[in-house]
Structure 1
Amino acid sequence: MKTLARWAPGLGTLRRYEGAWLRPDLIAGVVLAAILVPQGMAYAELAGLPPVTGLYTTIACLVAYAVFGPSKVLVLGPDSSVSPLILAAITPLLVTGDPESAIALAGMLAVLVGVIMIGLGLAKLGFVADLLSSEVRVGYLNGLAVTIIVGQLPKLFGFSTDADGFVDEVRQFLRNVDRTNRATLVTGLCVLAVLLVLPRLTTIVPAVLVAVVGATIASAVFDLAASDVTTVGVLPRGVPAPSLPFTSWSDVVPLLVGAVGITMVSLADTIATSSGFAARHNEEVDANQEMVGIGTANIAAGFFQGFAVSVSGSRTAVADQAGAKSQVTGLVGAGLVAALLLFLNGLLADLPQTALAAVVITAALSLMDLGALRRYASIRPSSLVISLVAAAGVILLGVLQGIVVAIVLAVLLFFRRNWWPHGAVLGEVPELGGWHSVTEHPSATQLPDIVVFRWEAPLFFANAGQFRDQVRRLVREQHPGWVVLQCEAVTDIDVTAAEVLRDLDEEVNAAGVHLAFVEMRDRLQSLVKRYGLHTTLDEEHFYPSLERALADITSAAAEGSVTDRPAGQT
């Protein structure tokens, strides 16, 4: 039973289910279903798929996550940040406009995403989500929002274009704007106004429910279809039987690129959302089990004519605010969506397509974070540049290429910060207490014949040369008798760096300069011994604190010799 609870934590929660949770779970499930339907259909169209596939996806992923997901409140489903990636991945593989081929390709993609996620979870590699740094992720989502909005404008205005790429989308829209259907545009703008204004007035009633129901009723009462307003039409009755989605082996490798991109975006959303809601409920996040749960949900969606999914922060917030206590909320929501398809499949037949475009545009606006850009500009301009480059990659190169640019940019950013780390000469600042950078505090006091230098990164093959050159420059410019290396921020020393340290010590010793090491971790001191560096680096010149090192050095200088006092241990 423990093994079952480990791999299917949802079943463990159901075994411990409390009767008092049922009523709030039922209420939350009903509220959740009200937004699952329109958003599922809208994001399906955003992925280039029939609207009904969004409902199939919603049902399958909610049921699967209820069994295999560890969180009690997370809500999965079609997502505005994932759907454009799906469209970008499957479009080049479509030979014709056959929706069945598109559905099969999207299903294959979902299964691949699920397999990757489960593999990462089982291998306990949840940290890969950290590859998308905050500024890169903000830039990617801002670029994605712009791309989505521009892509939905023709549908909002009541016409279609055959554009390829962002620039062509803008050109085609401006060229065809005179084909605007006024009834379609007015309907879409009204829905958009409700979606944007109502949440500012009240959060009791979901704005998307009011907007979609209102648009459907207005369409039926005023017979908007007669004014060439395109509607959703009657949905296929029932739910599909499970089947393995497959087109050809030649499609697998191209889809893998999209699957990796979706995995990165989905994991970043998942970890951020699950951490936030877990903190509210004093729970801990099991990132690896989250990946298994979401991976299983993706595979389930793929087997039921669905597409890749992610955690939805907005839908999770709705469920949480409605009082959800467990994943029974998701099961109730899935059950109501299934009931719609089984018994009320004509209920949304009069829903205008422009209303779905308004839902997508609203979701895209929620992805944008201009405040973050202003914050980056004020605190770290380089982060602003990185974020804008990531956004430009999505807008100008395409969504799929943009996520690749974002990931590469994040990795390069990591290597940049460790390859060319900051090194600082320190001086004593009595009014602040302790030793600080003389660049930031020009009045800081330095001791004669001693340079205190702080290295702010692991010391490894890529930056060891930078370290050596900076120490050489200090020796050449200041002619000290001692260079005291403050090593608090040094978390590792690799073989190449060890060789550089040995050669550097011999070089500066020949010039009459001694090296001392301060606050080096016990683990690294042991590593230094294993590297055999104590044949050159004096074991007595490793100190537990800067004060201890300076006291010994000044005392030895006063006595006219190098101190023989043993080094303390950190």
Structure 2
Amino acid sequence: MVGRSAPNRHPNRKLASRVRAVPGIRAVSTYRREWLVKDLVAGVVLTTLLVPQGMAYAELAGLPAITGLYTTVLCLLGYAVCGPSRILVLGPDSALGPMIAATVLPLVAAGGDPDRAVALASVLALMVAAVMILASVAKLGFISDLISKPTMIGYMNGLALTILIGQLPKLLGFSVDADSLIGECAGFVRSLAGGAAVPAAAAVGIGGIVVVLVLQRFLPKVPAVLVMVVLAIGAAVVFDLGERGVALVGELPEGFPPFTVPDVRPADLPLLLGGALGIALVSLTDTISNASAFAARTGQEVRGNQEMAGVGVANLAAGLFQGFPVSTSGSRTAVAERAGARTQLTGVVGAVLIVLMLVLVPGLFRDLPQPALAAVVITASLSLADLSGSVRLWRQSRTEFLLCGAAFAGVALLGVLPGIAVAVSLSVLNVFRRAWWPYRTVLGRVPDLEGYHDVRSYPQARQLPGLLIYRFDAPLFFANARTFRDEIRRLAGTDPRPTWIVIAAEPMTDVDTTAADILEDLDEALNADGVHLVFAELKDPVRRKIERFELTRTIDARHFFPTVGAAVAAFRRLTGAEWTDGDH
């Protein structure tokens, strides 16, 4: 009996262990009573930012403002259950808005059917969820490293400019119909010159930007966006701005949407998938960077794969309730942190308050001017730009500055979705370029300095007659093996002619079959001319590969040394060569 009953209990324990491993359940089981008041207060403060930003970013994505609130509620609840970070805040994001619009709006009928746009955006959120969850299961968090810092700076600068130009007409009370940044610039200038701007709208929009920037600069603890929104609603009521040509948000739908499986045409799915991959990559990069920054402050460990799963579940929840793709938000997380947030209960409080607002007071933002939402988006876009980072790249590395500029141009000229493809391609090509044309140099002995050093940094460095020490700072593979061969041939032909060329091989972390074949031919040609190829500091895994490739048939097994110093000492014993005067 005992032997039969034990296996039945084991699955129960395993199931209980898995349930306890869910971040939300683990957070509840370890929750401390003294955190409650702080989480409740932080949730109220956070809500004052979540509502206007959610509405503004929904319109940035080309969707009805109400969908931003639906999305905010569901993603906060989804991440509270499955997200590992204690205080990271998710929601509609200014960086994702243009990408969503670029994916969804071309598929919407010419009439601009908002229901179809919402359905497409919801499917997009579900696709992003699938990508993130599958990437989490496959432990692909490293994919966020596909975008280097310089190309990310350029991409974000281009995105900030795209958002700014796209929101300027709304800020001034008119609209422009264009498909590109240049077209939007031209249309904006033409409309402005034609007198399309509405003075009252311009006053609200520009005034809103000034209020937000001034408060953020001089009173950072004051909820700047909330203050601006309240002032804008007050101005709309007092001055009857709706009758002066200023577009207002209007009455929001009452209540909350039901569980909905979005219905779209199969022909739309391939185009949506392309957008979902780009959005998932940007969201992943943003999530990992934000999680790392806030984890360092709170003493948490960053769990990249769990973060992907948490963001994936948040997108899944949003997509099933008429929402759109979301990401983490550094600004909203900072607000929650400053307000005293301790756990994800802060986000849950925010979600509950938004639901109560939709159910009890849906007309609360009826008189909110649309230019005020444009002001919210524009001030957010300014935080995306990193002009000081671009200047630093110009000073530190012209090559990486050019990469930054190329990524910027990709977004500005091709659009946000092609722009992310350009950014990833440039990052990968830059890695390939560094491996293709690595740094390489000759080493020499420097008086009163231990070891062997780059002759470019130490022109006074000396070499033993008949010996050259060469360092190649990259793995040896098909793309750079011919560069290595040509450089060795050039060194072998110098005057006086060396008899040993010692490869300082510590940076050489790999050798592939193409490089092995080239090495074999090179060694045979050098041996015919009385020159020997010698390896020092070759890593054991690489040495084993060379033996497996049978290179020791041509390269003398005695020509492998543990250190450069050992190779030099062996050469001196063999030839009796001495360092020139002034060397030790």
Deviation at 1:447, TM superposition (A): 2.5
Q: Could you tell me which amino acid in structure 1 is paired with residue 134 of structure 2?
A: G
| Alignment counterpart, residue 530 of structure 1, candidates 544, 548, 552 | 548
Question: Is residue 2:239 matched to residue 1:225?
Answer: no
CA–CA separation in structure 2 for the residues paired with 1:167 and 1:249: 32
Q: Give SS of 2:112's match.
A: coil
Question: Is residue 2:195 matched to residue 1:195?
Answer: no
CA–CA separation in structure 1 for the residues paired with 2:444 and 2:274: 51
Question: Is residue 2:492 matched to residue 1:481?
Answer: no
CA–CA separation in structure 1 for the residues paired with 2:212 and 2:437: 47
The worse-fitting range, judged by mean Cα deviation, of 434-443 and 239-248 is 434-443
Q: Closer, same or farther in 2 for the Cα pair 1:252/1:68, shift >3 Å?
A: same
Deviation at 1:402, TM superposition (A): 1.1
Question: Is residue 2:62 matched to residue 1:45?
Answer: no
CA–CA separation in structure 2 for the residues paired with 1:209 and 1:36: 10
| Alignment counterpart, residue 127 of structure 2, candidates 92, 112, 116 | 112
Deviation at 1:461, TM superposition (A): 1.3
Question: Is residue 2:526 matched to residue 1:502?
Answer: no
Question: Is residue 2:34 matched to residue 1:20?
Answer: yes
Q: Deviations over 1:542-568 (max 9, x none)?
A: 2222222211211221199xxxxxxxx
Deviation at 1:2, TM superposition (A): 2.2
1:378-397 to 2 correspondences below 5 Å: 378-397=395-414
CA–CA separation in structure 1 for the residues paired with 2:266 and 2:375: 37
Structure 1 residue aligned with 2:47: 33
CA–CA separation in structure 2 for the residues paired with 1:171 and 1:431: 66
The worse-fitting range, judged by mean Cα deviation, of 238-247 and 476-485 is 476-485
| Alignment counterpart, residue 270 of structure 1, candidates 287, 300, 303 | 287
Q: Give SS of 1:434's match.
A: strand
Q: Deviations over 1:333-365 (max 9, x none)?
A: 111111111111111111110011011111111
Deviation at 1:194, TM superposition (A): 1.1
Q: How many residues align?
A: 559
Structure 1 residue aligned with 2:430: 413
Structure 2 residue aligned with 1:174: 189
TM-score by length of 1: 0.96
Deviation at 1:319, TM superposition (A): 1.0
Deviation at 1:410, TM superposition (A): 1.5
Contact 2:445 2:452 in 1 (8 A): yes
Deviation at 1:261, TM superposition (A): 0.7
Question: Is residue 2:161 matched to residue 1:146?
Answer: yes
CA–CA separation in structure 1 for the residues paired with 2:333 and 2:536: 49
TM-score by length of 2: 0.93
Contact 2:465 2:577 in 1 (8 A): no
Question: Is residue 2:144 matched to residue 1:126?
Answer: no
The gaps in structure 1 that reach 5 residues or longer are 561-570
1:196-345 to 2 correspondences below 5 Å: 196-345=213-362
The worse-fitting range, judged by mean Cα deviation, of 501-510 and 116-125 is 501-510
Q: Could you tell me which amino acid in structure 1 is paired with residue 65 of structure 2?
A: P
Structure 2 residue aligned with 1:565: none
Q: Closer, same or farther in 2 for the Cα pair 1:194/1:505, shift >3 Å?
A: same
Question: Is residue 2:66 matched to residue 1:88?
Answer: no
Deviation at 1:123, TM superposition (A): 0.3
Q: Give SS of 1:179's match.
A: coil
Contact 2:464 2:577 in 1 (8 A): no
CA–CA separation in structure 1 for the residues paired with 2:296 and 2:528: 57
Q: Closer, same or farther in 2 for the Cα pair 1:252/1:431, shift >3 Å?
A: farther
Contact 2:501 2:534 in 1 (8 A): yes
| Alignment counterpart, residue 84 of structure 2, candidates 64, 70, 77 | 70
CA–CA separation in structure 2 for the residues paired with 1:374 and 1:242: 48
Deviation at 1:199, TM superposition (A): 1.2
Deviation at 1:424, TM superposition (A): 1.4
| Alignment counterpart, residue 356 of structure 1, candidates 359, 373, 385 | 373
Deviation at 1:432, TM superposition (A): 5.8
Q: Could you tell me which amino acid in structure 1 is paired with residue 69 of structure 2?
A: L
CA–CA separation in structure 2 for the residues paired with 1:184 and 1:274: 38
Q: Deviations over 1:93-133 (max 9, x none)?
A: 11131100000000011111110111111000111111011
Question: Is residue 2:70 matched to residue 1:56?
Answer: yes
Q: Deviations over 1:52-110 (max 9, x none)?
A: 10000000101001111111111111001111000000111111311000000000111
Q: Give SS of 1:444's match.
A: coil
Structure 2 residue aligned with 1:450: 467
Deviation at 1:251, TM superposition (A): 0.6
Deviation at 1:394, TM superposition (A): 0.5
Q: Deviations over 1:411-465 (max 9, x none)?
A: 2112111122221112233466533322233222223221111111111111111
CA–CA separation in structure 1 for the residues paired with 2:126 and 2:297: 32
CA–CA separation in structure 1 for the residues paired with 2:281 and 2:446: 45
Q: Could you tell me which amino acid in structure 2 is paired with residue 231 of structure 1?
A: L
CA–CA separation in structure 1 for the residues paired with 2:425 and 2:449: 40
Structure 1 residue aligned with 2:178: 163
Q: Could you tell me which amino acid in structure 2 is paired with residue 341 of structure 1?
A: L
Q: Could you tell me which amino acid in structure 2 is paired with residue 252 of structure 1?
A: L
CA–CA separation in structure 2 for the residues paired with 1:85 and 1:509: 59
Q: Could you tell me which amino acid in structure 1 is paired with residue 404 of structure 2?
A: S
What's the C-alpha RMSD, in Å, of the aligned pairs? 1.4
Deviation at 1:522, TM superposition (A): 1.6
Q: Give SS of 2:144's match.
A: helix
The gaps in structure 2 that reach 5 residues or longer are 1-15, 579-584
Q: Deviations over 1:128-167 (max 9, x none)?
A: 1110111111110000110110000000111111112111
The worse-fitting range, judged by mean Cα deviation, of 377-386 and 199-208 is 199-208
CA–CA separation in structure 1 for the residues paired with 2:285 and 2:248: 35
The worse-fitting range, judged by mean Cα deviation, of 315-324 and 135-144 is 315-324
Q: Deviations over 1:22-68 (max 9, x none)?
A: 11111111111110011111100000000110000000101001111
CA–CA separation in structure 1 for the residues paired with 2:298 and 2:562: 42
Question: Is residue 2:443 matched to residue 1:426?
Answer: yes
CA–CA separation in structure 1 for the residues paired with 2:190 and 2:410: 25
Structure 2 residue aligned with 1:567: none
CA–CA separation in structure 2 for the residues paired with 1:58 and 1:134: 29
Q: Deviations over 1:303-323 (max 9, x none)?
A: 111100111111111111212
| Alignment counterpart, residue 375 of structure 1, candidates 392, 397, 400 | 392
Q: Give SS of 2:555's match.
A: coil
CA–CA separation in structure 2 for the residues paired with 1:195 and 1:284: 34
CA–CA separation in structure 1 for the residues paired with 2:177 and 2:220: 38
Q: Give SS of 1:333's match.
A: helix
Q: Give SS of 1:515's match.
A: strand
CA–CA separation in structure 1 for the residues paired with 2:483 and 2:362: 67
CA–CA separation in structure 1 for the residues paired with 2:273 and 2:464: 59
Structure 2 residue aligned with 1:550: 568
CA–CA separation in structure 1 for the residues paired with 2:546 and 2:295: 42
Structure 2 residue aligned with 1:564: none
Q: Give SS of 1:462's match.
A: coil
Question: Is residue 2:416 matched to residue 1:399?
Answer: yes
